[in-house]
Amino acid sequence: MLSKSKTCCIYGLSVADIEVEVDITNGLPAINIVGLPDIALKESKERVRSAINNSGFEFPLKRITINLAPAATKKEGTHFDLPIALGVLEASHQLSLKNFYDVVILGELSLDGKINRVNGVLPMLLSMYEKGLRKVILPIDNLEEAKLVEGLQCIGVTTLNELVGFIHGTTKLEVHTGSIVKDLTSPLFNEDFKDLKGQENLKRGLEIVAAGSHNLLMVGPPGSGKTMAARRLPSILPSLTFEEAMEITKIYSISGMLDKDKGLITQRPFRAPHHTSSMVSLTGGGRIPKPGEVSLSHYGVLFLDEVAEFSKNTLEVLRQPMEDGVISLSRAHGSFTYPAKFMLICSMNPCPCGYYGSDSQHDCNCTPHEIKRYAAKISGPLLDRMDIVVETTAVSYKDLTDGGKVETSSEIRRRVEKARQKQLERYEGTSFKSNAQLTPSAIKKYCKLEGKSQELLKNAFHKMKLSARAYNRIIKISRTIGDLDNSTNIKLDHVAEALQYRITQGLSGR
């Protein structure tokens, strides 16, 4: 007897619908899986055999052929276990799937028949819903994720036995209907800007990058609060929109990093990879590439602490996604594109010992050659892509003991959200969501310079020997400063403040 059931397969963020065909014929006992399965999928026959036997059903000792159609499409993943097992049971006349052919079936099987959580459920179900399928059977641990697809009927199961009972009508399972999550309020943060003493210029720089989604480089001696400040940046970032939250959740679903109890990610990501991280870990990799740190930071923050300690080749791979907002990975099995609209926040010391040009009691012991070589680890093209460079100084005893009022994260965040709202209104009907995303043509349209602002920018362009990219980034920073100032046009003081963030004298190698 021939059995057919419906499932799907994911490639990057694209999804293909797959039909699982199982045929059982007389002959020597054997199981053959055809249709370009990967190794994990080829191994599913052993998991399926043990799960069926240990669930109290009979595994047929005949020739079993399993075809994954279309045969020309490569398949990978363990979520094929469950539809294969149901196909074997139907083909051996132990159940009937005639009322379940239009149901998407996903699930990995344990040897005892338990149905385990699988990765990539959200993007798969969103795509299958667009193709007209309205019901899914999947592991109970993926249920919260599946319920994010509005209108989709979701049935969560824990064991193969339970599912067979449901198909026979002897077991009742609750059918959940997906709905849009309306509450996207960010959780309370344990880290607050009120704990950061002194460093007012750094706080201002972080407020600007948060308001416009810009990149920032912090340069200063050890213990000046660079890491502490960066880890508090999420507490002043604006709340996610539903569309942004869905995009982030899809990426984390593919990576297998989604919390089974929450479903939707409602907080902007903050990723801080160690400086020993490889290029592959940042960009994404594998035989069929999975998202890397630049994609896991989508609509959030990628923080590189002690950026000069990263290998130069690793840092250079960031240049393309910083410009394009996506990263394209080509492998033998095809090309995959993942979103990568992240804010790059970096920190570094001015020299190997960390005290070059510092106001502290420490003396710098580095030679001029060592200082220049250390600063040169940040290449000119990468430095050119940093919108803001802030130099920090050692925190004084007076700053640490000052009992004066310090702004909290919630106070700064209110200003940031007002500025972001102005940007959303200004760019309504376009693909832009923040000033950092503006293209050169969009800059001419939306960034109007007032009075002497253009003259100041012209003089700075020649004296500071700015590149065309740096020129455009200064205008975008000026636009963000204007938004924080609730100004329609870009004024002279907005440009002047933006220019001071391009001065990189702390990078003595320049």
Question: What is the per-residue pLDDT across 83-103, written as a single tens digit (0 to 9) for each?
Answer: 999 999 999 999 999 999 999
Categorize the per-residue pLDDT at 509 as very low, low, confident or very high, splitting at 50, 70 and 90. very low
pLDDT digits (tens, 9 = 90+) for 126-167: 999 999 999 999 999 999 999 999 999 999 999 999 999 999
% of the chain at pLDDT higher than 70: 96
For the four alpha carbons of 249, 250, 251 and 256, in that order, the dihedral sign comes to positive
161 and 240 share one domain: no
Q: Are residues 189 and 161 in the same domain?
A: no
CATH of the domain at 490: 1.10.8
Write phi, then psi, for 404 (nearest 5 degrees): -70, 165
For residues 32 and 170, membership in a common domain is answered with yes
The residue among 334, 251, 333 whose CA lies nearest residue 291 is 251
Question: CA 60 from chain center: how many Å?
Answer: 45
pLDDT for residue 185 is more than 70? no
Per-residue confidence (pLDDT) for residue 502, from 0 to 100:
82
Per-residue pLDDT, 359: 62
Residue 420 lies inside a defined structural domain of this protein: no
Domain boundary among 149, 177, 205: 177
| 378 and 487 part of one domain | no
pLDDT score recorded for residue 291: 93
503 against 89, higher pLDDT: 89
* C-alpha neighbours within 13 Å on the C-beta side of residue 273: 24
Is 414 among the domain residues?
no
**Domain limits for position 100:** 2-177
Confirm whether 275 is domain-assigned. yes
Structure tokens of 104? Answer: 């998407």
Quick one: pLDDT at residue 289?
82
Mean pLDDT of 302-327: 94
- 239 in a domain, yes or no? yes
Is the pLDDT at 510 greater than 50? The verdict is: no
Whether residue 179 contacts residue 147, with contact meaning beta carbons closer than 8 Å, is answered with yes
Tell me, what's the pLDDT at 246?
Answer: 93
Q: What is the pLDDT of residues 370-391, one digit of tens each?
A: 988 888 889 989 999 999 999 9
Residue 331 has phi, psi (to 5 degrees) of -135, 175
**Is 24 a residue whose pLDDT tops 90?**
yes
Q: Which of 401, 430, 452 is the last residue before a domain boundary?
A: 401
Q: Looking at residue 360, what is its pLDDT?
A: 59
Rounded (10°) angle between helices 453-463 and 468-484: 140
**pTM for the predicted model, two decimal places:** 0.91
How far apart (Å, rounded) are the C-alpha atoms in residues 492 and 478? Answer: 9
Enumerate residues 6+ apart whose C-beta is below 8 A from 114.
Answer: 158, 159, 160
Same domain, 165 and 201: no
**Coil vs helix vs strand at 34:** strand
Q: Is 251 exposed, middle or buried (0-12, 13-18, 19+ CB in 10 A)?
A: buried
- Our count of domains for the chain comes to 3
Strand partners, 344: 302
Is 129 found in the same domain as 65? yes
pLDDT in tens, 33-59: 999 998 888 999 999 999 999 999 999
CA separation for the pair 71, 17 (Å, rounded):
12
pLDDT given at position 508: 44
Higher pLDDT, 397 or 279: 279
Residue whose C-alpha is closest to residue 74's, from 14, 143, 139: 14
**Rounded CA gap, 389 and 392, in Å?**
10
Least confident of 9-13, 238-242, 339-343: 9-13
**Confidence (pLDDT) at 143:** 95
The answer to which of 75-79, 360-364, 368-372, 388-392 has the lowest mean pLDDT is 360-364
Least confident stretch, 23-32, 48-57, 294-303, 349-358: 349-358
pLDDT of 187: 63
The overall average pLDDT reported for the chain is 91
Residue 459 lies in a domain: yes
Mean pLDDT of 442-465: 89
93 shares a domain with 35: yes
Sign of the C-alpha dihedral computed for residues 502, 303, 250 and 318 taken in this order: positive
Question: 259 falls in which pLDDT band (50, 70, 90)?
Answer: confident
pLDDT at 415 over 90: yes
115 has a pLDDT exceeding 50: yes
- Give the count of alpha carbons within 13 A of 331, CB side only: 15
